[in-house]
Amino acid sequence: MRRLALGLLPAVLLLTACGSSDDDGAAVPGPTTSSPTAPDPDGGGADPAAGGIAQADNDLQLEIDLGDGRAAETWTLTCVGFVEGSHPVAQAACDHLAGLERPFAPLPEDVMCSQQYGGPETARVLGRWGGEPVDLELSRVDGCRIAQWDALVPVVPAPAG
């Protein structure tokens, strides 16, 4: 909620400067035509001056599917001097990510992985981390991907069993 409030601050200040107010003299935000945008490929968030909402440097959305027949869950996680979001263990996740150098680095294309199956869990991590765009698909279908998943627990849930 704090991120949303900060994103609206320039609009409220602009409306206040333009004299828009209700009967009590309080600023009244008007309707906007802009919507949040995904990070651009150049590594920056949306341009607030162009009507978009800037995205925090450490702001993630996680889509988690445990592969157990239940619907996938979507969690949000923001770690920018404060911790917020719908992630079930947000503080632990932020603390863990702070200790990793490149937590969302993709696996090298030429890596050799052991052929083992670690479970049906899948996840997708989207957003920004350390100022860089993140779009990472995770699974547990071979040794490399199992290790990648396990290195991100508690950001992603520990596998059942």
Q: Where are the domains of the chain?
A: 56-102+114-161
- Which range has the worst mean pLDDT, 1-15, 108-122, 134-148? 1-15
Q: For the domain made up of 56-102+114-161, give the CATH fold.
A: Subtilisin Inhibitor (3.30.350)
Digit-coded pLDDT (tens) for 73-110: 999 999 998 999 999 999 999 999 999 999 999 999 99
* Sign (positive or negative) of CA dihedral 60, 66, 67, 73: negative
Its pTM surpasses 0.75: no
Go through 12-25 and write b for each residue having 16 or more CB atoms within 10 A of its CB, e for each that does not. eeeeeeeeeeeeee
Pairing of strands 122-129, 73-79: unpaired
